[in-house]
Amino acid sequence: MARYAFIVPADLPGPSGGLAYNQRVLAQWRTMGLDVEEVPVPGAWPRPAPADRRILAQRLRQHRRVLIDGIIASAAPEELRVAAAAGTRVAMLVHLPLPAESGLTPGEQQRLAAGEAAAVSAAHVVVCTSGWAHDDLQSRYGLGQVSVAEPGVDPAALAAGSLPARLLFLGAVTPRKNPLGLLQALGVLTALPWSVVIAGPEGQDPGYAGRVRAAADALPDGRAAVIGPVSGQQLETLWGETDLLVLPSLAETYGMVVTEALARGIPALVGAGTGAQDALCGDPTGPRSELPTPGAALDPYDPSAWSDLLRAWSSDAHLRQQWRRAAQAHRARLRTWSHAAQDLRTAIEW
């Protein structure tokens, strides 16, 4: 049996930033020679069936040192407490504080917060993936110590872009990610030359996804395409055709797609006050701190502000070139996945 175990969800729809983070860190640890086992647990986390929680309890009993994905841990605080009492050292990795998800009823938000509060209390170590999540967890639950292990990014070829300019929304089609707000902002700019692709899984909220498709279809001249999840060569081709990433999320822990865009020399517009702003600008004390911003952060609740800046970007070649040069400067100073894996390993003392 491996010395360490990383307990991850087996059945979550993807692709997602959290699942990608888990897989990349595991791959780096194995490259480092760390003896760690990936332990998938079935269930519709964070709303598991009793049988799913029993399987989790069994998996926890089988290992002495575990790291558990927060979407599982937050829904099973009692299982964590029992395992910790029996001698298992439990570290909890929070990708997104669950009550920060949009579209929740007050009752759902309260239930998720109660479970997450109990889980972070039961865990020996809590780690999150951004400064934004660190501040949220500390203020929400009064935690004394939360470590941060930001994501890394893979090197990538510079994007060639498109003519007319191509905008890309890449993420789950959900209210929190706010693609409907983006389409609303673009709806008043149809006299300008641009196209937009909305790519990502739609299964979490089919009703909302339907409204997004209807809004895209309402734009003239086939300007907007909603294409579902993409991966592999299809995703690489899409990146190569992109001139600007647009991520108007209402809440975002980090926004790995932002640094993935920067790795290709693509600037981004992101939601102000979210973790995506941290991804765009970099750590205030880090190697990107003195570089110009490769895009901008805007109030995600203000479509008119997005319309105004998208109008300026679309009509001003100098602004486009300025942002692209800034993105290329950031490209040379991005964190790698080996940095992320080492930071997480240090935090959980593996």
Q: Do domains 4-152+337-348 and 165-331 have the same CATH topology?
A: yes
- The packing angle between helices 77-85 and 106-122, to 10°, is 10
For residue 17, the model assigns a pLDDT of 86
Q: Are strands 4-9 and 268-271 parallel, antiparallel or unpaired?
A: unpaired
Q: Do you know the residue count of the chain?
A: 350
**Separation CA 344–CA 1 (nearest Å):** 22
% residues pLDDT > 70 (the chain):
100
What value does the mean pLDDT take over residues 229-257? 96
* Domain boundaries, given as residue ranges, for the chain: 4-152+337-348, 165-331
Average the pLDDT over 209-218 and give the result: 97
What pLDDT is recorded for position 281? 95
What is the structure's pLDDT at 157? 97
CB proximity list for 141: less than 8 A, separation 6 or greater: 116, 117, 120, 121
Q: What is the pLDDT of residue 2?
A: 80
Secondary structure (3-state) at 111:
helix
Per-residue pLDDT band at 286 (split at 50, 70, 90): confident
CA 246 from chain centre, in angstroms, equals 14
Give pLDDT tens digits for 291-305. 999 999 999 999 999
At 103, the pLDDT band (50, 70, 90 cuts) reads: confident
Quote the tokens at residue 50. Answer: 């009793």
Write down the pLDDT at residue 187.
Answer: 96
Mean per-residue pLDDT, 324-335? 97
Give the pLDDT score at 204: 77
31 contacts: CB under 8 Å, gap ≥ 6: 338
pLDDT band at 212, cuts 50/70/90? very high
- Residue 54 binned pLDDT confidence (cut-offs 50, 70, 90): very high
Question: What homologous superfamily is domain 4-152+337-348 in, according to CATH?
Answer: Glycogen Phosphorylase B; (3.40.50.2000)
Does residue 15 register a pLDDT over 80? no
Q: In the predicted model, is pLDDT for residue 205 greater than 90?
A: no
pTM value is 0.92
**At 119, is the pLDDT very low, low, confident or very high (cuts 50, 70, 90)?**
very high
**Do residues 258 and 183 lie in contact, with contact meaning Cβ atoms separated by under 8 Å?**
no
CATH 3.30.160.40 assigned to domain 165-331? The reply is no
Q: Give the lowest-confidence range in 61-70, 120-129, 197-206, 286-295.
A: 197-206
Going by C-alpha positions, the residue among 138, 110, 123, 15 that lies closest to residue 73 is: 123
What mean pLDDT value characterizes the chain? 95
| pLDDT of 14 strictly over 80 | no
